[in-house]
Chain A
Amino acid sequence: MIKKLQSLFSFFFLVFFSGNAQSTKQNSYIAEKQNSYNITVKNNSPSIILSSAEKRWVGDKNDKSILGNRINYVDSFEKVFDIEAYSISPSNKKHKIGYIGTGDREIGDIFVHDIKFKYYNFLNIEDGSQTYSFYKKEYHKPQFLESYYFKDYLDCKSSKIILKVSKDVEIGYVIQGNTNNEKIEFAKETNGDFTIYSWHMVNMEKEEKESSSPNFSYYSPHLIFYIKSYKNNSGIQNVVGTIDNLYSFYAQTIKDINKQDQTQVKEKTTELTVGLTKDSDKAKAIFDYVQSKINYVAFEEGMGGYIPREAASVLQKKYGDCKDMANLLNEMLHYAGIESNLAWIGTRHNNYTYENVPSPIVDNHMITVARINNQDLFLDATGRYSSFPNVTPFIQGKEALTKIDDLKYKIISVPVIPSDQNKTNGKLKIKFNSNSLIGQANFNLSGFFKTQFISAYRATTDKSETLKGYFSRFIQNIQTSNVDTKNDDLSQTPLEIQYQFELDKWIKETDNQLLFKPILFFPYSDARINIEKRKTPLENDFKKSYNFEYEFVIPEGYTVDFLPENFNLINDFFTASITYKKVNNSIIIIQEMSMNTLLIEKNNFEMWNTAIRNITKQYNQNIILIKK
């Protein structure tokens, strides 16, 4: 399922692949790019042919990103042909390209796939050269078309897409991404049997990804078009373009799965659920098994990127990708007598809904939706360290297109997990020793915090190193000892971490006073957004909350001279409070904070920064103790 996701953003690949040459010379730019599609019906099937043309101006010949071109394609579904490219030097010499190679895209977690690229290099490029690139691409699967991103990895003077559509074909289209302050000229005209649609943008700045940016689909303007239906000798043939059509296509892809003998699947289910009476316990046992014993290995060649593999085979091989795990889980749940179904879903990587984009481009993932005690559970066994029945962070808030039967489906929204379910709780008892603080800390991590910690902790070859990193994430000179962890498993029980610590040079001493910052954990203190520089929205992995309780034992001979004022902040992103209280011989400080947003749009940066500034200021409040 991940295949589409990758090909969708093909042109941006160059940016990351080619390195970032720095130069004091003028930036290279795209003078003109145009993708023209000719969409007709030939031999009773849709014929979709893209003619692509691009002209660039070279500012700095040492900028490796403009020295060549890559044309991505999915080998099973697309054919690239008629590649022609050349450069023209400032002295007007034309140099045609020579060798055109074929390569395999290197795609992170996908072990086997057929996403390839044609590549070539321009010859004798000089500062001021112009490059011209042309190719054609034929799409063999009318369901799988690419989006057109108007912007690119270079500044672009003119960007145009044209769809020349025969009267026998009905298309749908939608512009996605952030189009505020963007002008896209649209035109539609009829020419004989064809309708010609065009969209045109001019003078665009280059599009870049920044740290913690969401995917381009959130902010970069792009056209998604799809074929709703076409007319052939047998009549009107639906493709996609409505949710019904999309589901019908999906249902076709899974109609022939699970034909192998499933005795082993059934037996394994029985073995896992023996003695369990509650559905939720059975589901947990099955989920835990698939999650921990089936290793993620993705084979995504051709339709193998869309059709789940046989449940029996996945069980035997002990590996599979998201859809393979979803299918095995689904089959095992059925054997356990639990209502469940396969569901297609687009992760947070894709910013689409089925209503807006009724095309396979919306999805890149598969899960199992189980119904237990009148509740939908969104089971994603690819989350290696998720606790049952938690969702994985990357499908929060997304729509799951859930199978009911071959014809019926249901769209169910996955909840966004609220901040109070992803919690770090800390209790600290602290005393003074000369100018050091000595303390005992007890931490509880739940929800995604627990998952996040365990993923790092379980994967490391040096657990003590990982723990040290965790303890010193806010204060590097902390020294820890007697560390103990409990519940570092996949249960819902919070992970417990206990340790003792010593914090040297934390206290400032004057003639008769001790000053110290009582807050020892500073979530979001480094989260200021550089508003002048940042161009893209900022994505948070999950909503989260922190609750720290500090008890400082006032040292002998001292009394409290100053306690900071209590603090409270509530806005769209944060709720935060700090309270200070003297109780007998101790000072009790409660620091609470929750961060309640997954996406910060540009127009909210200022508000975000104001909150960060106010919160950080509170981290810098000192308590003053004075000699009696």
Chain B
Amino acid sequence: MKNLIFLITILLTQVSFAQEEEVKNYKWDEVPKFKEIPVEFTTYPAVVLKDYRLYENKVGGYAYKAFIVKHQAIKILSETGISEYNKVAINNRYIRDYRDLRVRVIKPDGKIEELPKERIIEKQGTNEKQFAFEGVEKGDIIEYYYVIKDYPDFSGSEYFQRDIPVLDAKFQINKIGQAQTYTAAYNGMINQSIDKIKIYTATNIPAYKIERNATNMANLAKVYYFINTSKVYNYISYYNSLYNFANGINAKSMIKSFVENLKLNDPTITTDEKIKIMDIFLKENMEIDKQYNYKKVIETKKMTSNMVLYFYTDVLDYLKIKYHFVASTDKFDDKFDKENAVPEALSEILIYIPETKKYLVPFQFWMPYGQPSALSVNNDAVYFNQDDRQQVTYEFKKIENVLMDENVTKSTSYITIGDDMETVLVDKKSTYTGYLASYFRYVIKHVSQEKINDFVKNNTFNDIDAEVQKYSFENKEYKNNYDSEKPFTISSSIKVKESWIENAGKNNLITIGKVLGKQTSLHQETSRTNPIVLSYPKKNINYINLNIPSGYSIKNVDNLVFNKEIKNANNDIIGLFKSTAQIEGNTVKIAVEEFYNFTYLEKEKYNEYRDLVNALYDFNNASLILTKNN
């Protein structure tokens, strides 16, 4: 028995020694040992052998300080790796004291060359230190660590995944006596916490590669940390902070007169209508600006973003309209975590009205009441039921998908070719509903006159070299966000400045699909690491009319006929690019329908997605032959 206890003690001691790092008196191994580099990582210019970031906060009594360690070792595998990693500047904190800073180069034969202290540069009048590794050659390991004394940092995030592989990553932070330290880690960071020390480690983290339409940042290995005085920090704690924040200032008389002036207490008006009236008033009369006095927002017509939240909740409370706070992440930046409430990751704060099943988005001034924020569509979220303030409950739900048919861009183009068979003129009318419409309505109020032509060109002809000859907007007033019959409309006339006309003897060709604007090609992007993620479902419809120049005829309209689909497991079409073309009199009439009725597609479906995107590119580059009549 004695032996057993002894053995357990030894094992535990070893485990904790193996995991917990001394921070204040951190030292590197005088004879360094690193993990072997796997063969698949040897093609990178460098590999991170060690990346340790350790925090020790000391708060209480007379202490208010932190010790911080950063220890990094990188193996240089190519000449380009040297210039990329041979310089270090420590300048991102209010450093009170450097307890230790050591820098060395380890040669392939194991010889260690430590940088003398006097070669570390101290910037005058600052706490910054800088150094460059000396004598570095391909095959060397460059290594440094520092221990600094600083003020405690109570919240933050650390990303460990980089554009080169990382073999050994460690994050460590202690718990302090007066508050709890909370952490959450993702994408391969393993929790190895012991008692009062939170530890996360990871080995062999692959290098990341940024992909289009992917949740790149959300997929990286990282750790969040923050402290809170609650003994347990959960979603109720999060709710309490949010509630207290939203109800911090009393402005009852302002709210009362606002409600009365707009007759929002009229019982014959529906909840939907009341919220709409409130929102339209705010967006048409207020400006986001400095404002120190919440009670004066109506009078001064200025409010801060936070005050939009106060105002929404105050009016809803006053009118006794039930609402739920909803919190989610920007799905491209962070995965929603049901286990841990991480305030820094919960960037999408919404107000959900259960009666109408619609949302208010207080921190996006351009968003009308209705759809959730674009970055949270179809993302997991927490919904707080606060009907009983004493007994708030919550549930995790996906924020509903928005309707594709409410996010539609519809364009009709009339193309005329000049008598010179070179000049191409286009009249285009584009109508927008949903997110784009709301965003455009907001943006055009802030675009200067000198940039307005570019706005028109970029949004209706996507990067085409063209001269905007005239333009007009319709239904640009904010209130039209609530009227589906009045989509935001851009009408423009342009003269194309790039070459759409080709020659073939006495005949000509026109690459008519260019009227859609430049399109992406995925022909070269054959492999995929991440699933495809889109912000929200959307549909684009294009009607293209080409006036056939007199003396010419067109025969190959079939060249513009495309049909690519993406189907789900139920065989429903969830993605489509379909074009039809026909000749009516002296006009070529083309109808194009493109939609993405999904926000998430497994990477196994990438080829179907790629084919669809490529079909759009091919349509964009397809041409019609204008045959000169004899």
Contacts and interface: CB of A to CB of B under 8 A. Distances in A.
Nearest to B163: A461
B447 A459 contact: no
Interface string B508-535: 0100000000000101110000000000
Given A22-B447, A316-B134, A620-B501, A476 B521 contact: yes
Contacts of A525: 498-499
Contacts of A509: 556
A321 B551 CA distance: 67
Which bucket holds chain B's interface residue count?
35 or more
B502 A317 contact: no
Contacts of B422: 617
Contacts of A111: 87, 89, 130, 132
Given A22-B446, A316-B134, A477-B614, A515 B451 contact: no
A23 B446 contact: yes
B40 to A, nearest CB: 13
A260 interface: no
Given A528-B465, A564-B503, A295 B521 contact: no
B465 A526 contact: yes
Given A24-B447, A462-B209, A295 B136 contact: yes
A620 B499 contact: yes
A621 B521 CA distance: 24
Interface string B568-585: 000000000000000000
A505 B134 contact: no
Contacts, number: 140
Given A112-B121, A622-B509, A472 B523 contact: yes
Contacts of B623: 508
B45 A461 contact: yes
B630 interface: no
B503 A296 contact: no
Nearest to A472: B524
Contacts of B555: 510-511
B289 to A, nearest CB: 8
B472 interface: no
A349 interface: no
B35 interface: no
A477 B446 contact: no
Interface stretch (B78-86, B174-182, B401-409): B78-86
Interface string B216-238: 00000000000000000000000
Contact of B134 (A102, A319, A459, A479): A319
B618 interface: yes
B554 to A, nearest CB: 10
Given A112-B130, A508-B559, A297 B86 contact: yes
B137 interface: yes
B87 A477 contact: no
B505 interface: yes
B389 interface: no
Given A477-B521, A477-B617, A505-B618, A295 B446 contact: no
A293 interface: yes
A458 B80 contact: yes
B33 to A, nearest CB: 26
Contacts of B117: none
B253 interface: no
Contacts of A622: 502-505, 509
Given A296-B83, A461-B44, A505-B621, A477 B523 contact: yes
Contacts of A617: 422, 499, 503
Contact of A24 (B445, B521, B622, B625): B445
B524 A479 contact: yes
A112 B80 CA distance: 21
Contact of A22 (B44, B448, B559): B448
A504 B134 CA distance: 52
B10 interface: no
A193 interface: no
Interface in B251-290: none
B465 A461 contact: no
A476 B164 contact: no
Nearest to B558: A509
Contacts of A564: 503
**Majority secondary structure of chain B interface residues (helix, strand, loop or mixed):** loop
Nearest to A471: B524
Contacts of A297: 83, 86-87, 132
A581 interface: no
B123 A295 contact: no
Contacts of A296: 83
Nearest to B559: A508
A562 interface: yes
Contacts of A623: 504
Contacts of A458: 78-80
Contacts of B125: 102
A601 interface: no
Contacts of A511: 555
Nearest to A295: B83
B207 interface: yes
Interface string A96-109: 00000010100000
Interface in B201-215: 207, 209
B505 A562 contact: yes
B135 A317 contact: yes
Contacts of B622: 505
A458 B497 CA distance: 37
Contacts of B445: 24
B288 to A, nearest CB: 10
B449 interface: yes
A318 interface: yes
A10 to B, nearest CB: 20
A295 B82 contact: yes
B474 to A, nearest CB: 18
A231 interface: no
A183 interface: no
B424 to A, nearest CB: 12
B25 interface: no
A104 B123 CA distance: 10
A620 B503 contact: yes
A515 B509 contact: yes
A318 B502 contact: no
A616 interface: yes
Interface string A489-529: 00000000000000011001111000101000000011010
B137 to A, nearest CB: 7
Given A477-B621, A508-B623, A318 B44 contact: no
Contact of A318 (B135, B465, B467, B524): B135
Contacts of B501: 620
Contacts of A290: none
A254 interface: no
A215 interface: no
A380 to B, nearest CB: 16
Nearest to A26: B448
B621 A295 contact: no
A500 to B, nearest CB: 14
B124 interface: yes
Interface string A283-307: 0000000001101110100000000
A469 to B, nearest CB: 8
Given A104-B123, A458-B80, A316 B556 contact: no
B58 to A, nearest CB: 30
B523 A476 contact: yes
A477 B522 CA distance: 8
Nearest to A506: B621
Interface in A529-581: 530, 532, 561-562, 564
Q: List 9 tightest A-B contacts by C-beta distance, closest first.
A: A476-B521, A622-B504, A620-B502, A562-B505, A468-B524, A317-B134, A477-B523, A295-B83, A297-B132
14 contacts: A111-B132, A112-B123, A114-B124, A295-B83, A316-B135, A479-B523, A517-B502, A526-B465, A528-B465, A616-B498, A617-B503, A619-B499, A620-B499, A620-B503
Given A24-B447, A477-B521, A623-B504, 6 more contacts: A297-B132, A318-B135, A476-B524, A477-B617, A561-B505, A624-B504
